[in-house]
Amino acid sequence: MTYVNRLQNVTVLGAGGKMGSGILLLTAMEMTDLSLLPENKDKDFIINAVDVSDKALSGLMDFLKTQVTKAAEKKTVILRETYKDRSDLIENSDIIKQYVFDVMKIVRCTTRLEPCYDSTLIFEAIKEDPDLKVKILSQIVGNNKKSPWFFTNTSSIPIHELDESAKLDGRILGFHFYNPPAVQKLAELISSDSTQKEVIEFALQYAKKLRKTIVHSNDVAGFIGNGHFMRDALFGISEVERLSEKGSFVEAVYKINKVSQDFLIRPMGIFQLVDYVGLDVCSYIMSVMNSRLSDQNLHSSLLDSLIVKGVVGGQFADGSQKDGLLKYEKGRPVGIYNPDEEEYTLISEFQEKCDKELGTLPKATLPWRAVIGNPAKKDILSDHFKELNSMKTLGAELAGNYGEQSKKIALQLVTDNVARNEEDVNTILLTGFYHSYGPINEYFK
Amino acid sequence: MKLRKKIYMTAGYNTISLGTGRKEFHPKKSRPGIDHYIKESGKATLDKIGGGKNVDECVIGNFMAARFNKQANLPGFFPMIDDDLKWKPAIAVEGACASGGLALVTGIKSVLAETADVVLTIGVEVQNTVKAIYGADILAGAGWYGERKTGHAYFFPGKFSDRAGAYFEKYGREKSRKALARWYRNAIENARLCPTAQEFHNKIEDLETMALMEPNPKAFVNNLNVFDCSKVSDAASAIAIVSEDGLHRISISKDDAVEIIGFGQAQYDITKPPADLTRLETTETAVKKAFESAGITKDDLAMVECHDCFTIAGVMGTEAIGFAKPGEGADFVADGNTTRDGKIPFNTTGGLIGWGHPTGGTGVHQAVTIWEQLTGKAGDAQIKIPDEKPYGLSVNMGGDDKTVVAIVYKRG
C-alpha cells in the first residue's frame, strides 16, 4: 500500500480533544493536499473524527474552520498554483474559502466506532488510560478487515504493552505530538521491538510532510519527554516541601516557580507547566510510569491531594489557562493555591518579600523571550550562568540545585536506555518544551 | 498648458498613518472607521479656513472604501464634518492610488473653471479592516481584472517584483538591491522625524542590512522583500485649494500657502502591460507635462514627493523625473542623492514606505507635505528650501504606472 493509499481512509480517535483536534487538523490538510494533486483526483479521501462528545465534535468543526483558514492564508501563494485550472476561483479569498471547504469536506464527525472499521490508518488520542486504550483498539482490530496501522499519541504507556494487549501484530507505533500539535515542531517516535518496519517508514514520511522534527525514543514508560518532565516536576514539588517546612507553602511555590523560570531562563515556571498540562494528567502519567518503572517512586501525594480538592489546571476550550496550583489572569499567574485555607493567596501580597529572599538575578540575565531566538544566545546564557554560579543568594542556590537535578535526570534517561543519546534529550527539551538550552550542558555540575 | 489663473493650496492636515509600526496599532483591537478619518482631517482644515461656510465645493479622493469599508457615496460625509457643507456640491473621484492626486486636480480645475474659489479636498483610505492577503485582492483592483487569475497572490507586489526583476537583469542585481535598501533607510530615517508617520516609532539601527534580506518567493514574491513595500495604512489628509479671492475670503496670507504653478496628468491603457518594465513611462509623461505647464525644470526643485509604493518604484521614479539616466537611478539613490540633505531630497517625511500609504489618500498627503515644507511648517522634518529653488514636485501614481498626476508647487 502506497503512502497515498494509506492516507485515503483515516480515523482520529479522541478528535474533539486538545491533541486529537490538532492531529486531525494536520492530517486532514495533508490528505487534502494529496487529494488536490492531479494524479489523485479520482481517489476518495476520508478522515473520521471520532469522539464520545457531540459537543467536542461541534467545537472541532469551529476549530478546523479557523485553523485551516489561517493555514490557507499563509500558503495562498502555493494554493493559487494548486487551483490554477479552476477558472471560477480568482481572488485569494475565493481560493482560501475553497481550500477550507476542501479540507472540511473529507472530515466525517461521529460518536460511533463503526466508521473506523474501514480505515487503514488510525490515530489514537484518547484519555491516557491503558485499559481504555486497549479496549478500544481491540474492538477496532477485531472488526476492521484492512489490517489498519495504529499511531498512538500516548505520552507514557509503552507501545509493546498496547501491541500485545490489543493483539495488533506490530502494527502500532507511538507518534507523540507535542501540545499544540499544529504549532509544536516536535514529535517523539516510539517503536517497540515488534513494530513493523513499513509502519516506521510511513511514519517518517508522514512526519517529513508535516515538517515535524522527529526524535526517536525507546519504548520505556514516559519516553523522553515525560521521562524528564515528570521527574523535573517532582523535584520542584520536593523543593517546595523542603522550603515549606520552615516557611509558608504559597511562598515556597512562588519561589520555585520563579527560580525555574527566571533564574533558569525557561519559558514558564515548573508549576505553570504542570497547570498547563493539568495536575490530573500529570498524576495519571506518573501512575502509568510508576507502575512500570520499579526503581523509582514517581508519585506525589501533594498533587493527589490537590486534585481531590478540585485543583486540576488544564485549559478551557479556547486554549486559555484554567486555574490550577496557580491562579491566572490574562494568562499570567496572580495567585497561588493555599491547601490549608482552600483558596488562592494573591502573589502581590508576598512577592516583594520573596524576591528579596531570593536575591537579584545576574546582571547579564535577559528574559527567556529575548534569549530564545537571539543569535548571541550562547554568550548570553554563558554569562548568565557564570554569574549565577558565583552568586551566594538563595535564588542562585535553588537554581543551581534545579539545573543540576535536571541535568542528572537527562543523563539518567540515556543511562537507562530511554534516549539513544544525549543530543536527543536536549532536542526534546529545546523543541518540545521551548527551553533555551538543553538540560545536558556545561552550566551545571 | 500654463494655468490661466493663480491657484493656491493651504491649511493642510494629516491624521496619523495607523497600521503596523505604530505603537497604538493592534491588529485585534477595534479601530476608528473611515468616517472618523474623514471628519478629523476635514475639520482640521476647515478650522484653519473659517469653517464650512467659506467652502464652495468639496472633493474626496478614495480608492476602495466600497470593499475595505463597505462604504460608497463618500461625498455624503462632507455635511457630517460641518453642517455648513450641507447643500454644497461634493464629488468623489477614483483612480486607484492616484485618487488623491485626481482629487487635487479636480479641485484645481473647479477653481480654474471659476465655479469655486475655495475647495475642500480630502484623500482617505482605511485598509486595516482586512488581513494583508485579502487586502491584496482589493488592491488588485488597481490593475486589470483580466489579469487577476494569473496574477500573484500579492498582485501588486508581484507586478513590481517583475519590474524589479527586469531592472536587475538589465542593470545588475547587486547594485540595484543596495539602492532599494538605501531607499528603505532614507524612508525610515525621514519618518522618524514626523510624528504622524507610521514608522515614527521605528528604532531599528541597521536598516540597510535588514532591508537587504533575500526575497522569499515561496511566501512572497521573487524580487522584493517586505521592506521594499509601502505600508498598509489607515489615514486621511485634507487641504484647501483656493483662488486669490479665496485666500482673501479665508483670511490666509500667501506666506502660509503654496502656489500651484503647473500640473500634468497622463493615462495608460489598463488592459495592456507596460512597454518597458524598467521604465515608468506614464510617470515620465505626466512629469514632463507638469514641468511644461509650470515652466520650470527638475533643476529648480527643492524637493520631491514621489510615489514609492515599492522601493523599486522610487528608484525608477528618479529616472522618470530625469534625475538619472535609465539604469543609473540605482546609483543616484545608493550615493545618497535623495536623502534629506542630498542633492534633491525625496519623500521628506518617509513617503509611502515610511510615512504610510493610505492608497486613495496618498496624493493629498503628498500635497500637504510639500505645503508644510515650503511654508516652514514641517517641524522636525523641516528641510532647508533654498531661495533660488522655491519649488516642489509631487508624483502620484495609480496602478502599475497607469494613472499619474504630477503637480508643481511654489512657495506662496
The helix or strand, by DSSP H or E, that contains position B339, with its residue range, turns out to be none
Residues 185-204 of A with CB under 8 A from B: none
pLDDT for the residue B98: 98
Clarify whether residues B19 and B110 are in a common domain. yes
- CA nearest A90 in B: which residue? B149
| A204-251 confidence digits (pLDDT tens) | 999 999 999 999 999 999 999 999 999 999 999 999 999 999 889 999
**Do B305 and B214 belong together in one domain?**
yes
* A139-167 residue pLDDT tens: 999 999 999 999 999 999 999 999 999 99
The reply to whether B276 falls in a domain is yes
Average pLDDT on A375-385 reads: 94
DSSP assignment of A186-230 equals: EEEEE--TT--HHHHHHHHHHHHHTTPEEEEE-SSTTTTHHHHHH
Cα–Cα distance measured from residue A103 to residue A240, given in angstroms and rounded to the nearest whole number: 48
Residues of A within 8 A of B217 (CB-CB) are 77
Do residue B318 and residue B369 come from a single domain?
Answer: yes
Q: Indicate yes or no: CB of A80 within 8 angstroms of CB of B152.
A: yes
pLDDT in the model for residue A10: 98
ipTM computed for the complex: 0.92
Domain with CATH 3.40.50.720 in chain A: 3-217
- Please give the single-letter amino acid code of residue B289: K
Give pLDDT, residue A352: 96
User: In terms of domains, do B197 and B301 share one?
Assistant: yes
Residue B260 near residue B386, CB atoms below 8 Å = no
Q: How far is CA B87 from CA B75, B82, B123, B238, in A?
A: 11, 11, 21, 20
| A92 interaction partners in chain B (CB closer than 8 Å) | 133-134, 136-137, 153
Structural domain contains residue B2:
no
Order of all β-strands in the sheet with B7-14: B90-93, B57-61, B118-126, B234-242, B7-14, B257-267, B403-411, B391-398, B301-305
Same domain assignment for residues B250 and B369: no
- How far is C-alpha A281 from the geometric centre of its chain's CA atoms? 12
Q: Does A73 contact B133 at a Cβ distance shorter than 8 Å?
A: yes
Q: Burial level of B55, CB count in 10 A (0-12/13-18/19+)?
A: buried
Cross-chain residue pair A92–B137, CB shorter than 8 Å: yes
Does pLDDT of A296 surpass 80?
Answer: no
Closest CA to A371 of A422, A430, A290: A430
Residue B312: inside a domain, yes or no?
yes
Q: Label residue B363 left, alpha or beta by phi (over 0 means left) and psi (-120 to 50 means alpha).
A: alpha
Same domain, B60 and B198: no
Is residue B136 in a domain?
A: no
What count of other Cβ atoms lies within 10 Å of the Cβ of residue B410?
A: 19
Measured between alpha carbons, how far is A71 from A18 in angstroms, rounded to an integer?
A: 18
Task: State residue B1's pLDDT score.
Answer: 76
Q: Which residues does B93 contact at the CB level (< 8 Å), separation at least 6?
A: B59, B60, B61, B99, B102, B103, B106
The answer to whether residues B180 and B313 belong to one domain is: yes
Co-location of B215 and B148 in the same domain: yes
In a structure prediction context, what are the per-residue pLDDT tens digits for chain B, which is 412 residues long? 789 999 999 999 999 999 999 999 998 899 999 999 999 999 999 999 999 999 999 999 999 999 999 999 999 999 999 999 999 999 999 999 999 999 999 999 999 999 999 999 999 999 999 999 999 999 999 999 999 999 999 999 999 999 999 999 999 999 999 999 999 999 999 999 999 999 999 999 999 999 999 999 988 999 999 999 999 999 999 999 999 999 999 999 999 999 999 999 999 999 999 999 999 999 999 999 999 999 999 999 999 999 999 999 999 999 999 999 999 999 999 999 999 999 999 999 999 999 999 999 999 999 999 999 999 999 999 999 999 999 999 999 999 999 999 999 999 8
The predicted structure's pLDDT at residue B370? 98
Q: How far B361 CA lies from chain A's nearest CA (Å)?
A: 24
The answer to whether A398 touches A388, Cβ cutoff 8 Å, is no
Answer yes or no: do B134 and A76 touch at CB < 8 A.
no
CB of B113 less than 8 A from some CB of A: no
How many CB atoms are located within 10 Å of the residue B271 CB?
11
Within-domain flag for B64: yes
**How much is the pLDDT for A368?**
95
Banded model confidence at residue A414, pLDDT cuts 50, 70, 90: very high
Q: For residue B359, give the CATH number of its domain.
A: 3.40.47.10
Among candidate residues B154, B391, B152, B179, the one with its CA nearest the CA of residue B294: B391
Cβ within 8 Å of residue A141, ≥6 positions away: A148, A166, A167, A168
Which tens digits make up the pLDDT trace of A417-430?
999 999 999 999 99
Query: Which of B:207-266 have CB within 8 Å of A?
Result: 217-220
Q: Is A294 a residue whose pLDDT tops 90?
A: no
pLDDT of amino acid A317: 73
Give residue-wise pLDDT tens across range A162-203.
999 999 999 999 999 998 999 999 999 999 999 999 999 999
Distance from first CA to last CA of chain A, Å, rounded?
51
Average pLDDT, chain A: 95
Q: What is residue A297's predicted lDDT score, i.e. its pLDDT? A: 87
In this structure, the answer to whether residues B275 and B380 fall within a common structural domain is yes
A225-432 has CATH 1.10.3720.10 classification: no
Domain span at B167: 142-230+261-411
Cβ-Cβ contacts under 8 Å, B220 against chain A:
77
Contact A76 B149 (CB under 8 A): no
Higher pLDDT, A316 or A374: A374
Q: How many residues does chain B have?
A: 412
Q: Are residues B324 and B355 in the same domain?
A: yes
pLDDT (0 to 100) of residue A318: 76
Interface test with B, best of A89, A92, A96 (most B CBs within 10 A): A92
Interchain contact, B153 vs A74, CB within 8 Å? no
One domain, residues B331 and B251: no
- Encode pLDDT of A47-72 as tens digits: 999 999 999 999 999 999 999 999 99
- Does B79 fall in a domain? yes
Chain B contacts in chain A segment 7-66 (CB below 8 A): none
Within a domain: B174: yes
pLDDT of residue A443: 94
B385/B375 Cα distance (integer angstroms): 9
How many whole angstroms separate alpha carbon A429 and alpha carbon A440? 10
B374: in domain = yes
Give me the number of domains chain B comprises: 2
Last residue of a domain, one of B257, B292, B307: B257
Q: What is the C-alpha to C-alpha distance for residues B338 and B333, in angstroms, rounded to an integer?
A: 6
Same domain, B44 and B155: no
Instruction: Say which CATH class A3-217 falls into.
Output: alpha beta
pLDDT of residue A137: 97
User: Mean pLDDT, to the nearest integer, of A321-342?
Assistant: 95
Q: Which of B136, B218, B220 sits opposite A92 (nearest CB)?
A: B136
> What's residue A315's pLDDT?
86
Q: Is B197 helix (H, G, I), strand (E, B) or coil?
A: coil
